[in-house]
Structure 1
Amino acid sequence: MIAFIMFLVALVFLLLGIPVAFAFGGVAMMFAFVMPELGFEVFNILPFRIYGIMNNTTLMAVPLFIMMGLILEKSGMAERLLLSMSSLFKSVRGGLGVSVVLVGAILAASTGIVSASVVMMSVIALPLMINAGYNKSLASGTIASSGTLGQIIPPSIILIILGDVMSVSVGDLFKGAVLPGLALVGLYVAYILIRAFVNKDDAPAIVTHEKISFYEVFKSIVPPLLLMVSVLGSIFAGIASPTESAAFGVLGGVILSAINKTLNAQMLKYALSETMKLSGMIFMILIGATTFSLVFNELGGSDLILEFFSEDVGDVWVFITVAMISIFILGFFIDFIEISFIIVPILVPVMAAFGIDPIWFAVLIAMNLQASFLTPPFGLSLFFLKGAAGDSVSTLEIYKGIIPFILLQLMGLGLVLLFPNLVFAFL
């Protein structure tokens, strides 16, 4: 019961706006102080846990993939890719929306930085879609959801973190997430085309006589695709580990930037400083979460949850349903990093007790966590979109536009639940 109260206090601290790492670390210290059977001696093992985090080669891929994405963002590659793809699909009803989804998928597989993808597409694609007569809600929902595809399509930061938390191969997680990610892209594209067919005013075709240079299209689309294939292909073929491939991706990003003549000291300084900030945030949260889980487990929290699901409930599908609903609801209020470091470790022993395949369960969690970026009122992608769009769309229009895409995400989650072979196809 004390462990349950500790968990609720941590959630209250989060909702009060206290930084995540300090909320979880502070709650752990507070409960260790007030519980006489624990005391601060419980933290004697904490330095060894932190040292283990520092020596974790898998987590080294996180700052490397972040830096790769930031370099590609600043190189202007993403902007040229979106403009070229939009030109190709202009004459198709709903084609502009489809091009945004496809560009979101390509950016997800080559950068994986959600904030950069959403802001970039909001600045470039949103005015194009509004000027073309697109329904503002549809345009907003398309951009926000496409920008978050980097949460499920490899190389995904979520999958790297889940691989570490659940002690499974990140390479296998990348392989397992490919088809579910593509299925989600297919659902988005199908929805946009069907809506454009049913209501022609929502997503009209753009009649233009502008000729597209094949060389410009080739130059914009092929380099990021080659980088994506080389990074993911080296992992899938077993040639390199995710960390090694991430390092190669950074080198590839620098080379592409040099080819595009955007490589300079200012750009590298920006990429390095932002990588340091984002990585520092992630690892501070990880240390705070480690402190929290140490005290939580000493209070018997994980044993209580394991006993409840394995003995009191005793049904694997009830456990999966409760786990998915809990993660989905928590995604309304807290970020995917906190959920990955705090909630998932609690679920792992129960998953093992039921004999659930960890790769399949991790992909389910990743697809569910993607919704945390989209669900009102605290979905970060919605904030990024509104911040970049300004007064061109209202908050209500953004919320209305994102609801169908959240339902499509839940549909994709259902497909992975019903057809596990979507995950195991490349394993």
Structure 2
Amino acid sequence: MDATTTPAESSNCPCLDEVLKWLYERPPSHLVSYTGPEAKAEQTQLDLRLAKIAEAEPSIRLLSIASFFDADSIQEDMFLGYDSIQPTDNAISSPLRRGLRSATRDFATVQSDTRIVAHSRLQTSTSLPHVLALHSTFSQTPYPLRGNLAFAGLLYDVGMELWKRVHIDTGMRVLHTALEVVEETHVQQTAASLSLRADICVALGILCGLNGIESRGLSTKYRHEALRAPKFPNFQLRNDKIDTPVVNDILIQNARSDLAMGWLESEEFGRADSLIEGYLIAYRAWEPTEARLPYEYANYYFVKAVSLMAMGDASQALEKSQRAVELLATVSSGTCLYSHYEFTLVTLQYHARNRRAALRLHREIREERKKTWGIFDSRYLESSSMVARLLYHAKKYDEAW
């Protein structure tokens, strides 16, 4: 099988050996166009695990890969033709089949009630091609594989990593697969599966919102879906900074704040404003000191600022937007979100007719984005477009072009 052939395209009935070859012998460069920064010296447990799988003997590699899938979806005929097993040697193949099913069931049982952390954190660019290949194998193999919660967690993190690298379409495909895995394999919902499902829906809602006007309906739908998990009767997560009894409610209010952001993107400013006033009451009931919930209060002030500007209250809008930037700076300065908050603040200054200051500050943001993410990043292009528009409105046509 050559590097461009998928298992489903093989002329013979594909066996697991072909799937493995396709997974580990294809060059990873076609899977992701952006390689990212140099891998850190210390690899994560996921990196080490994937490296061990790639280097292992075929029979060990088979067991390792199978740990990502649900035991009930592993069929005996997947082993026929495997290079370390004689197809007619039942004395060898049957124990391996039994061992595979047992090992996979044990893995699924251990992970059934906990969110995968060690196996789903992507810290280096070396993990990404491997997990993307695993996703391709899962999606295109002719065998009816079902992923487990660990696999869904992997795909969620890959989707988030692709979002960071501005591979929006690929990230959405991977996240859709992760959502399907959770829904197909966890009919009887647990706190872990609901938590992961909510995370996936939030990410899909945001990415759909970034994908143009035609996807805004889907964005709102996914943001609504994220509200389901914390309402599950037995759902509870711990938070070191906040007492356990209010954690569920905080998750609900955070999901509502995400939905409010979706209403902003859809220019439904009245809906966004009414929604955020509701969760502000909850935030103040839990913790009146804004410094203890900086992200939550920053999100409130951000949405409120845009709503106020849409309603014509420029001075209050600028005050709220400035407060949002100040709060977020305490926990998340230098990030994409912080840059977005700054960008919005300066844009609101322009709408408040502080045009000279807005142009100067937008130029500063553009240079900062250039240093941080480079000239081909969407955030730098966004800033360049804004600077050009401001120059044009200032009748500095030569500079604008």
The two structures share one fold, judged by TM-score above 0.5: no
Relative to the length of structure 2, the TM-score reads 0.23
Relative to the length of structure 1, the TM-score reads 0.22
Higher helix proportion (structure 1 or 2) = 1
Could you say which structure has the greater relative contact order, defined with CA pairs below 8 angstroms and 6 or more residues apart?
1
